Amino acid sequence: MPLPRSEAPITASAHARPLLRVKDLQTTFRVGGNKFVRAVDGVSFDLDPGETVAIVGESGSGKSVTSLSIMGLLPHDSGEVTSGSMRLDGQELRDLNPEAMRRIRGKKISMIFQEPMTSLNPVHTIGRQISEVVIHHEGLSHRAARARAIEMLELVGIPEPTRRVDNYPHQMSGGMRQRAMIAMALSCEPAVLIADEPTTALDVTIQAQMLELMQDLQDRMGMAIIFITHDLGVVAEVADRVVVMYAGEVVESGTVHQIFEAPRMPYTVGLMNSIPRLGTKLPGNRLQTIRGTVPPLSNLPRGCRFHPRCDHATDVCRGTGNHPSLDAAAPGHLVRCARWKDIRFDVEESA
């Protein structure tokens, strides 16, 4: 198991006021006619200055919808934040009209998307796209904005930035495009960066370079990061705290040490057991997996939403009891499981 990056546990209470506080967030989508599903259901977490919080879970768990809700980028015709609070540096984002949100987006809070080719404009050069951001938010002249674009490309390690600034996205490799996306997101020095699966489409070598780059830039610029991924192996390298999501809700959260050394939710353990590890002998040389799939939001099971896939489920989990709440397993460590006090996982089992 990769070692967590920080030796000292970091808690949400380390600062008087979090830089970003998400509280009881609920996001609903219209799926046809008058039918609605809740894609994000009561999600809460804090993000402190300079901290990295990883949000993990399988596809369909609500990770990306959480980030789009914070950014105000939900599709207007189908998605809506229906309740909860999102406060950035004390300012309630839900109170802002679209124009006010556009002034914040890119300036105070930015986002890196998973696939640059779907996010970068193919008919404009990289330099122009970065320049437009700083012209809009900082009012720079075109000459000064171009100089900033070159500076940012150099900062993220793109060679020959004075030449690459005039490249179109298709003229760059996947790794170069991702670096250009990072340069654009950081061009106005945001306080919060949301990175949504930023390394998934890259090969292992480039992925390692991107993670190292993001940590280096975080140290130099002092920004806070929300890192969204399905890969707990990556989380150990980049995160201070971890939020595990399943079927739209938080099922476990805590410091990276608490999650990796003392997981209390069977789903979290399942994610850890699926991490490839050198020297591990498995039956048939196959990776361990979590059986089944994430349930559709339109047909969630009663009781614990994970119980159909859980080897530890009892009748209480299957719906004869109430939907499990988030309990405090330790200071700063929350778990949503009716049996977390009964089940113990060895570190080796979850490693």
The CATH number of the domain holding residue 208 is 3.40.50.300
For 85, the enclosing helix (H) or strand (E) is strand 79-88
DSSP conformation letters of 11-74: -GGGSSS-SEEEEEEEEEEEEETTEEEEEEEEEEEEE-TT-EEEEE--TTSSHHHHHHHHHT-S
Phi, psi angles (nearest 5°) of residue 93: -70, -30
Full residue range of the structural domain in which residue 317 is found: 17-108+190-351
Query: Angle, nearest 10°, between helix axes 174-186 and 126-138?
Result: 10
Coil vs helix vs strand at 246:
strand
Residue 93 lies in a domain: yes
Question: How many angstroms from the chain centroid is the CA of residue 125?
Answer: 28
Site of tokens 């609920």: 26
Residue 179 lies in a domain: no
Of 192, 229, 24, nearest to 105 (Cα)?
192
How many domains does the structure of the chain reveal? 1
Residue 20 is predicted with a pLDDT of: 97
Of 6, 2, 3, 1, nearest to 218 (Cα)?
6
Pairing of strands 20-32, 79-88: antiparallel
Sheet with 20-32, side-by-side order of all strands: 35-47, 20-32, 79-88, 91-92
Tens of pLDDT along the chain (351 residues) come to: 444 444 333 344 445 689 999 999 999 999 877 889 999 999 999 999 999 999 999 999 999 999 999 999 999 889 999 999 999 999 999 999 999 999 999 899 999 987 767 788 999 999 999 999 999 999 999 999 999 999 999 988 899 999 999 999 999 988 889 889 999 999 998 999 999 988 776 778 878 888 888 888 899 889 999 999 988 888 988 999 999 999 999 999 999 999 999 999 999 999 988 877 655 555 555 667 889 999 999 999 999 999 999 999 998 898 766 789 999 999 999 999 999 998 877 544 444
Residue 247 lies in a domain: yes
Site of tokens 């699966």: 197
Residue 47 lies in a domain: yes
Of 196, 212, 230, 236, nearest to 112 (Cα)?
196
Residue 135 lies in a domain: no
Residue 345 lies in a domain: yes
Site of tokens 């596809």: 59
Of 197, 201, 199, nearest to 209 (Cα)?
199
Residue 191 is predicted with a pLDDT of: 95
Residue 11 lies in a domain: no
Predicted structure pTM score: 0.88
Q: Please count the CA atoms within 13 angstroms of the CA of 71 that sit on its side-chain side.
A: 25
Cα dihedral 219/11/46/116 (nearest 10): 40
Residue 5 lies in a domain: no
Beta partners for 56? 229, 244
Phi, psi angles (nearest 5°) of residue 31: -115, 15
